[in-house]
A and B are shown apart, each in its own frame.
Chain A
Amino acid sequence: MKKKKMIISRETMDVDFVRKVEALSGTSVRRCFQCGKCSAGCPMATFMEHPPNRVVRLLQLGQWQRVLAGRSIWYCASCETCSTRCPNKVHLASIMDALRKLSWDLDGPSKESYVQLANKIFLDNIRIYGRQYEMRLAAVFNVKSGQFLKDMMLGPKLLSKGKLKMFHSKNKNMPEIEKIFARIEEMRRKGEAL
């Protein structure tokens, strides 16, 4: 990835976005003094183009677009090692959560990663069927992500072992499921949940 020069000014530093992250995560971004301990212990850091400390650094400079354009936040496994070890009480795992939520709200599925797409189809399935319907998940994911033949050869094997069902089976108590979704949506509207 080509690294673009950062032009820093009041206008290019989006402080409002960072305030939102701080409000959602309940932790201060400014507190971080870049010791790098979070990146040192992160099991997923090798997969990230911005290691955890740099995610915070970019937020300090209001450069959230650079963070969301990458896949770092989606590779975060939420293991919370960073938050546990941080010497300065920055809850980085919560910041990652907040970033994923804001990324979702902003522009739907991220182009860099399909994690967001997979998450979305997964939850849609739950809402429609009350439980997971893997066949549909795989099919819709492949179509939407444009990778039509992805993992195709795994299909027969999973079918023969009974791990993948051809037809869905619906939960019997759909109104209750819908209540859960509705309640979370309500909480989100009020800003009580991510």
Chain B
Amino acid sequence: MSRIGVFICHCGENISRTVDVERVAREVGLLPGVAFSTDYKYMCSDPGQNLLKKAIQEQKLSHVVVAACSPRMHERTFRKAVEAAGLNPFLCEMANIREHCSWVHENKEEATVKAVEIVGMMVERVKKNRVLPTITVPVTKRSLVIGGGIAGIQAALDIADAGHEVILVEREPSIGGHMAQLSETFPTLDCSQCIMTPKMVDVANHPKIRLYTYSEIELVEGYIGNFQVTIRKKARSVDEDKCTGCGVCMEKCPIRKIPNKFDCNLGMRPAIYVPFPQAVPNTPVIDRENCTKFKTGKCGLCQKVCGPGAVDYEQEDRLIVEPVGAIVVATGFDLYNITEKPKGSMIKGYGEFGHGKIPDVIDGMTFERLASASGPTGGKILRPSDGKEPKQIVFIQCIGSRAREKGISYCSKVCCMYTAKHTMLYHHKVHDGQAYVFFMDARTPGKAYDEFWRRSIEEEEAVYIRGMVSRLYQKGDKIVVMGSDIAVGVQVEIEADMVVLATAVQPQAGADALAQKLGISYDKYNFYSEAHAKLRPVECATAGIYLAGACQGPKDIPDTVSQASAAAAKVMTLFAKDKLEREPIVARVREAGCVGCFACKKVCAYGAVEEKEIRDRQGNLIKVVAYVNPGVCGGCGTCQATCPSKCVELDGYTDEQIVAMIEAL
């Protein structure tokens, strides 16, 4: 026989104003199984909690119902108090008579009757509560960081500095990401390479960081604290241990005219290459698609000239398995492609801007390479078509962004600022040139951002024209820009030498495939979703996986670095304990009844459902059933609602309990 104690809170006047709490205590006290009932003005206060603890001990209570506010508010408080009194905390339930009753009703008589019913339901439910042990999970104190841009670098350095091992995986041959491509950075105009490359070197030299470049994530298994990650280390064709980075192979390679992706295809590179001179690691990679040796079997020049004998044509992809406890995803962004309409995408492209068929219409990143001192033009602003210096340059903002009809409705956040920066860089480099910017709004929230934008107009003589451009077309060697100035209310026409489109920030290609491997959610644009937009902005809904940088949404460098450090802090919090404690509100499968349809596996948002084989003593397979990994389960109950044979049950919310609650009405 259970001895249930019911504690009814006045919540000051919040509840007692519309509910006769003393009557509720009296009536509930008569319910079968209730051994004690009382009311108090502030149950959550120190004297209130002491009253509860004392009653548990003196009345030898077996279960507790606290009738007060929402469990979201004080369930933890009362369960702690119950635990302190020597009872299992999961034998305490809350009846919500504030949000669900006193706050929404006016009639005291009716509200009191309803409060009695609510408490009565919880009394029936708590009778069927089980003693639940807290789940503990071991933690592997190593972290995986996916993506070697500024976000990944910052997160890796922070975690490694705290003394934990970090595995940094980068898809490209070098770390650095997009930030290494930039010329100067807003709002201070410091050179991107100058602030970026030292961090890259720090990563390479850090004893706690293991760097895998030219590698991709193949498979992710496990759960928080205990992931098993398989990394595919693509064949570089150059032995990283032997290579000294002398660069002779690159000088001798006869294939020289391959557009360099790092330079936005403006510059050329050989078939054996490093993407840029400051690359980390400074080990070349053979582009097998373009290498004569791999295409025809002849050549082999690089192997002949290589002093240490590092060139290895036989090298194959390697799969490496690494156990880690936490994962930071920092895969970054890519720019909306202006040159073609992506196949099968919801994005429509810009026919009115020629889909990039006009050679001197370029995107923002290409302009960065033109303006960069280490770029293909050595920092001179020159037209890609004929190498002339453009005297009239037009920048157009919001290309792709904020264009629902074209497929993207969000703001890319960084373009207003980088376009203002571009006008300044242009003004510094082409003194007799004139920059024009077509824009809809200038969005410059950030420290010293608006001042920076105003400076481009007031001091650096950029002419900003509010209004979008309708069309671009080639006329001789000029590009005619047809726009309008909505402040004046007339059409505007500019014959430009070069046009720069501020194209939208999008997630990296393949972001969705990686998300599926990791079991994290993403939105319709493939940006990864955080657990809570405001209060958990760096965590995924999947435990143990954290987000940093533009893979979560468009972000500038300061925001990216902040988020990367925040993600690192979250990882360190996880690693601070040897064992993880989890709330035991998890689903359990009744294996005898499970038919192995795995409907639960399909609906599970956390990837917690696994397949489990049941064998007899001889080892013969009897059947395959579902198994919920308690380390991963989020306790949402979707599996319970889905199971056709009613064989999954969420502790604390079993069907038996719900039915008992309904019957109490």
Contact = CB atoms under 8 A, between A and B. Distances in A.
B662 interface: no
Contacts of A85: none
Nearest to A55: B488
Interface string B358-402: 000000000000000000000000000000000110000000000
Interface stretch (B135-143, B224-232, B489-497): B489-497
Contacts of B105: none
A57 B484 CA distance: 13
B466 interface: yes
A155 to B, nearest CB: 43
A7 B465 CA distance: 13
A61 B466 contact: no
Nearest to A88: B454
Q: Is the interface of B mostly helix, strand, loop or mixed?
A: strand
A9 B466 contact: no
B434 interface: yes
Residue among B465, B485, B492, B495 with max Cβ neighbours from chain A (10 Å) = B485
A186 B439 CA distance: 46
Interface in A46-79: 53-54, 57-58, 60-61, 63
A6 B488 contact: yes
A28 B454 CA distance: 13
Nearest to A36: B487
A8 B493 contact: yes
Question: Chain A interface residue count: which class?
Answer: 20 to 34
Nearest to B462: A30
Contacts of A58: 488
Contact of A5 (B434, B490, B495): B490
Contacts of A61: 463, 465, 485, 488
Residue among A5, A6, A8, A31 with max Cβ neighbours from chain B (10 Å) = A8
Contacts of B466: 34
Interface in A12-64: 13, 28, 30-31, 33-34, 53-54, 57-58, 60-61, 63
B36 interface: no
Given A8-B494, A61-B463, A30 B488 contact: no
Contacts, number: 55
Contacts of B458: 28, 30-31
B465 to A, nearest CB: 8
A57 B463 contact: no
Contact of B492 (A8, A28, A31, A54): A8
A172 interface: no
Contacts of B457: 30
A6 B454 CA distance: 24
Contacts of B336: none
Nearest to B432: A10
A9 B494 contact: yes
Contacts of B490: 3-6
Interface of A: 3-10, 13, 28, 30-31, 33-34, 53-54, 57-58, 60-61, 63
10 closest cross-chain pairs (CB), A and B: A57-B487, A5-B491, A30-B458, A6-B492, A3-B490, A8-B494, A34-B487, A7-B493, A10-B434, A6-B490
Given A9-B494, A10-B391, 10 more contacts: A5-B490, A6-B492, A6-B493, A7-B493, A8-B436, A9-B434, A30-B461, A34-B487, A54-B487, A57-B485
